[in-house]
Chains A and B, each alone.
Chain A
Amino acid sequence: MSVIFILIFLSLIVAVVFLYLFYRAVKSGQYDDTYTPSVRILFDDKKPDGPKREKKKSKKEKPNSSKT
């Protein structure tokens, strides 16, 4: 049964690690703005790389040309 002493210490240490992580998260400002990240995560990660750009432009030209 004495193994419980060790186990409890271990569990406490693990819990303290999480407490410390929480502390660091608060100090680094993660809880200062709880709204913006919820919007930000929905944005597409489109990087302005070459091929995509051309593709988009050609898409836009289509309606133009069909109208004229």
Chain B
Amino acid sequence: MLTEGSEKVQEKTICYHCGDDCEETPIQFEDRSFCCHGCKTVYEILNENDLCNYYDLEKNPGSSLRDKPDSDEYAFLDNNEIRNKLVDFASDTVCKVTFQIPKIHCSSCIWLLENLTRLNEHINASQVNFVKKEANITFDPGKISLRQVAELLALIGYAPNISLESYDKRDAKNSNRSLLIKIGIAGFCFGNIMLFSFPEYLGFEESYDLDFQRFFSYLNIVLALPVFFYSGSDYLVSAYKGLRRKFINIDVPIALGMVVLLARSIYEVFSEVGTGYFDSLAGLVFFLLIGKWFQSKTYENMSFERDYKAYFPLAITKIIGGKRKNVPINELKEDDEIMVRNGEIIPADSILISERSNIDYSFVTGEANPVTKAGGEYIFAGGRQVGESIRLLVKKEVSQSYLTRLWNNEIFNKQEISMTKRLIDVISQYFTIVILAIAAISGIYWAIYDPSKMWLAVTAVLIVACPCALALAVPFTSGSVQRVFGKLHCYLRGSDIVEQMMHIDAIVFDKTGTLTEIRDGQVEYVGKPLSQEEKMLLKKIVSSSIHPFSTKITDYLSQTKESKRVFKRFEEIPGKGIEAVIENTRVKLGSSKFVTGDDPGLNFLASYVFISIDDDVKGYFQMKSKYKEGLKQLIDKLKEKYTLMLLSGDNASEKNTLLKFFPANTTMLFEQKPADKLEFIKRLQKDGKKVMMLGDGLNDAGALKQSDVGIAVTEDTTSFTPACDAILEGSKLNRLFDLLSFIGISRKIVIAGFIISFLYNVIGLSFAVSGNLTPVLAAILMPLSSISVVAFATLTVNHLAKRRKLI
């Protein structure tokens, strides 16, 4: 019989809920296997509520629940103040909230989350925004609390992500909506004006047609005004701002063209010499706005503006007179006592009250290994507690902590003004001057030979030379490149980043998390073979310790059973190792100095845990951080074109390994603090380098922001990334060279687009200077040039991307 159960025939048993490998001990329930109790629970809940449709829509749609959330994780939502800030709307009977749910990934997710009301009748409605990975939930706060809603979501595997960021700013950006409305109005007017201009193109012959002509012309004026003043307002404002700063940007010639078009057309209508160029005006604005819309494609589910607020939790457990209370971390004051649980982030600089703690600073400093701190020591904010709960005494407010102070650096407050002038602005400066010169010369020429044609020719030059096609070449090329990159899992903040990437000549790498994969540190045993008995002893010792090396060795010894013998002594000495006596056997584990008494100089690889049993040194476990695949080939290609550098917050233990990847003269700096990294980039830029920085952690945040192009490398695009210009998926790092060389090609495409639009301009200008530009000619020529540039840019980018096997 073929049911879902038949999957068991395969060698691996796959979890019916999440599709993970169930490993040795799948949990059986109703003929289905699950990898953990969490997954089984979700299935049970869904089954009870007749929601198993969830499993029909996609195969194994769930998310693994092996890391079960803490039961108190959402306790802070009971705090009224936090609750009020989080909800979108609240009354006594109706409450609306928008949760960020990173786990949303397939249509089953949408289906389940939109059927929440069947799981709990007090949830009235829920709607998912798949792209933003958000769920909008309406519930009855009298019957079910916000915390319960969050816990229900967590229970079915969709834990909402609530960070300090969601607390502080809750404004939805609606700029996209206003652009859409502008396009709608421009399109509407453009279409109608064309319709009303059509009779004119065919020619009015009879005398009574004159009434129509006038009627259509006045209608056109009415329709052109909203296009000019509303839809085109951005260009006028931008040109005005540019001129006030004595800088001719691309919007100056566009605005000039628009003003001349409108003025000349209105003049023609009122003086009854013609019907004007209203269709050209509306078409121009319409096409420009379309270009803007094409360029404005952003990845909504990704945030490129995150600061520490997205990384820090919203609330922390404060201890007041022995009682626990959840408070927003903004309210922490000096000398408050707080409790930090396993996996939680230390929110503020503080002093450790508990005896000992292991803190994972990998994300903040780039240090690969957790740091052990003893009671009374000063602890910097940002680390993640590993192991049991600890108590801390807050010494500095959150915003004044060492880590968060980095964001007070001027670089984070400065409005982003791109260092490199946009190519189009450089061209538009010359363009504007040349056009004005041509207009002036033809004006003078006609003033001498036929003064009646002077203004006709001057305005015609300004109208036809309007750099619509010119202005469209860059947005459409960059927009297409951005889309190609998106398919390769490299997400750019905006298409202007494409242009900034063209100028890069130096690349700075961070080590931890960028070049290395954090999760898969290989463990290897080197030394005398260990007997089964010895292995069991070791397993017993390492599983009693929460040091990450111990955890890794525990995983390595997963096939071995734990010894049943009892400890006589167990001592973990921070920074050194473990000394344990089990019955009569004395075992030492730890650094070579601690175990063997001397340093064997094994410095070419990363980390070692030496073992001695009854003072007999057996050997060591070797843990090397694994470098990303294809790194060597990537570096070999990159070093030809770019200056490569490396900055690491970690110690120099890997320097020799890194030298196998990088050329010998590479600058490598270790033990770099966040501020050091920022300064380093600044110095490079002072030397005239255009720097691209690749990093992943909070410690790179300053450097990423300072660099010309900052790329955040991440394993999972839904997880936290610091403020940056682009987000690159870690597995695609090896394609970096292909991406950069494609940028070079796109530059050529932009230039080719410029040439095409110049050719159109030459044709148009030859009509204009001779005083022969008719409205119908303008109405044909201007859209035609725009369309051909747009088509050329998008088609060539896609074609070349396919030929280079990028997509």
Contact = CB atoms under 8 A, between A and B. Distances in A.
A58 B53 CA distance: 16
B107 A39 contact: yes
A53 B49 CA distance: 9
Interface in A21-58: 22-23, 26-27, 29, 31-36, 39-40, 42-44, 46, 48, 53, 56
B114 interface: yes
Contacts of A66: 1
Nearest to B188: A19
Interface in B645-673: none
A3 interface: no
A29 B131 CA distance: 14
B53 A64 contact: no
B129 A33 contact: yes
B31 A36 contact: no
A23 B129 contact: no
A63 B31 contact: yes
Interface in B46-60: 49-50, 52-53, 57
Contacts of B184: 19, 22-23, 26
Contacts of A29: 177
Contact of A26 (B3, B107, B128, B177): B177
Helix, strand, loop or mixed for chain A's interface?
A: helix
A53 B130 contact: no
Contacts of B196: 8
B506 to A, nearest CB: 38
Interface in B738-759: none
A32 B131 CA distance: 10
A9 B184 CA distance: 20
B212 A35 contact: no
Interface in B122-142: 127-132
B215 A5 contact: yes
Contacts of A36: 110, 127-131
Nearest to B208: A1
A40 B50 CA distance: 19
B219 interface: yes
Contacts of A64: 30-31
Contacts of A15: 188, 192
Contacts of A33: 129-132
Contacts of A40: 110, 114
Contacts of A12: 192, 219
Contacts of A5: 215
B131 A53 contact: no
Which interface class (under 10, 10 to 19, 20 to 34, 35 or more) fits B? 20 to 34
B111 interface: yes
Contact of B180 (A1, A26, A46, A60): A26
B181 interface: yes
A21 to B, nearest CB: 10
Interface string B201-212: 000000010001
A11 to B, nearest CB: 9
Contacts of B111: 43
Interface in B247-278: none
B50 A48 contact: yes
B177 A32 contact: yes
Given A32-B176, A36-B130, A36-B131, A46 B188 contact: no
B110 A23 contact: no
A39 B181 contact: no
A67 B31 contact: yes
A26 B174 CA distance: 10
Contacts of B127: 36
B50 A53 contact: yes
Contacts of A39: 107, 110, 130
Nearest to B177: A26
A30 to B, nearest CB: 10
Contacts of A60: 30
Given A32-B177, A35-B130, A64-B30, A4 B1 contact: no
Nearest to A53: B50
Interface in B193-247: 196, 208, 212, 215, 219
A63 B192 CA distance: 65
A8 B212 CA distance: 11
Contacts of A23: 181, 184
B3 A42 contact: no
A5 B131 CA distance: 48
Nearest to B196: A8
B118 interface: yes
Contacts of A1: 208
B129 A8 contact: no
A60 to B, nearest CB: 8
Contact of A46 (B1, B53, B212): B53
A47 to B, nearest CB: 9
B181 A8 contact: no
B474 to A, nearest CB: 25
A42 B107 contact: yes
Contacts of A8: 196, 215, 219
Contacts of B188: 15, 19
A15 B188 CA distance: 8
Contacts of A32: 129, 176-177
B181 A26 contact: yes
Interface string B689-717: 00000000000000000000000000000
Contacts of B118: 48
Contact of B177 (A27, A42, A63, A67): A27
B164 to A, nearest CB: 25
A4 B130 contact: no
A48 B1 CA distance: 29
B185 interface: yes
Nearest to A28: B177
Q: Counting chain B CB atoms within 10 Å of each CB, which of A5, A36, A44 scores highest?
A: A36
Interface in B94-137: 107, 110-111, 114, 118, 127-132
Q: Counting chain B CB atoms within 10 Å of each CB, which of A26, A34, A35, A44 scores highest?
A: A26
Contacts of B129: 32-33, 36
A35 B180 CA distance: 17
Q: Counting chain A CB atoms within 10 Å of each CB, which of B1, B131, B132, B177 scores highest?
A: B177
Nearest to A9: B219
B779 to A, nearest CB: 20
B659 to A, nearest CB: 47
A33 B31 CA distance: 39
Contacts of A46: 53
Nearest to B4: A63
Q: Counting chain B CB atoms within 10 Å of each CB, which of A29, A31, A39, A40 scores highest?
A: A39
A46 to B, nearest CB: 7
Nearest to A5: B215
Contacts of B53: 44, 46
Given A15-B192, A26-B180, A36-B127, 5 more contacts: A8-B196, A33-B132, A39-B110, A40-B110, A48-B50
28 contacts: A12-B219, A15-B188, A22-B181, A23-B184, A26-B180, A26-B184, A27-B177, A29-B177, A31-B176, A31-B177, A32-B129, A33-B129, A33-B131, A36-B127, A36-B128, A36-B130, A36-B131, A39-B130, A40-B114, A43-B57, A43-B110, A43-B111, A44-B53, A56-B52, A63-B1, A64-B30, A66-B1, A67-B31
By Cβ-Cβ distance, the 4 closest A-B pairs, closest first, are A36-B130, A33-B129, A39-B107, A19-B188
